[in-house]
Amino acid sequence: MNGMGLSEPGTRIFWTRQAAAIEEELEKTGVYRVKKEYIEKKNDTISEFYLRLYRWYTKEAAKYIETSGEYPIWLSMSEDNMLQPVEGTVILEVEIPADRYLLCNYDAWGYIVNYFYVPLDEADRGRHTNELRRYGIGSDDELLLTNKGNFYPLLKREVQQSWSRAFTLKPGNMEMGLVATAWEIRKEWVREIRHYLNTEESK
């Protein structure tokens, strides 16, 4: 599913890298959903940053799709662009129905992670940059991370409201800039599980 006006097939194949423990959870329960402790373990001291972002993401995504969990599972659109396996992880190839995933502009997500404005195009980027300069603001993140946002609430709101474009704005490079998220992986969706191979140990 998407808010970009793209035509979607009934199902789509994705690739996702997850902790190896996902296999046991799928066998036991038949479904995998991201838990808070997984994010805390992965991100350590910056986990609260990501937990807050993911909660926002899920809240916004609920405008387009029924979310069955609190935190998103990131999915690669192609095998060439998927995250590569590392020790302690597996790669899942999954086929997910169109109403169970949501497309995301990954370039826009990068802006959001850095508390930046998501521009519609280059002209909009220039307009926004000029507006920041007009008020002596060096970067968008100052509006979110310092008290400058209290003095310029309209600018702060403009930045925050632009983040919803992650779901509606088509990336300039559709092959590299488009990803998807789901809120669960069901056992029946899994087509293949690839395990990490330590090439040094296998020599």
Q: Per-residue confidence at 128, pLDDT binned at 50, 70, 90?
A: very high
57-109 pLDDT, tens digit each: 999 999 999 998 899 999 999 998 898 888 889 999 999 999 999 999 999 99
d(CA 199, CA 203): 6
| Whether the model pTM is above 0.85 | yes
* 3-state SS, residue 56: helix
Over the Cα atoms of the chain, what is R_g? 19
3-61 pLDDT, tens digit each: 898 888 899 999 999 989 899 999 999 999 998 988 998 888 899 999 999 999 999 99
pLDDT of residue 14: 97
Q: Which pair of structure tokens corresponds to residue 198?
A: 């330590």
138-193 pLDDT, tens digit each: 999 999 999 999 999 999 999 999 999 999 999 988 889 999 999 999 999 999 99
pLDDT of residue 175: 87
Cα angle 173, 179, 181; round to 5: 160
Instruction: Give me the mean pLDDT over the 122-126 stretch.
Output: 97
| Residue positions counted in the chain | 203
Q: Is the pLDDT of residue 198 over 70?
A: no
d(CA 113, CA 176): 18
Q: Per-residue confidence at 203, pLDDT binned at 50, 70, 90?
A: very low
pLDDT of residue 188: 97
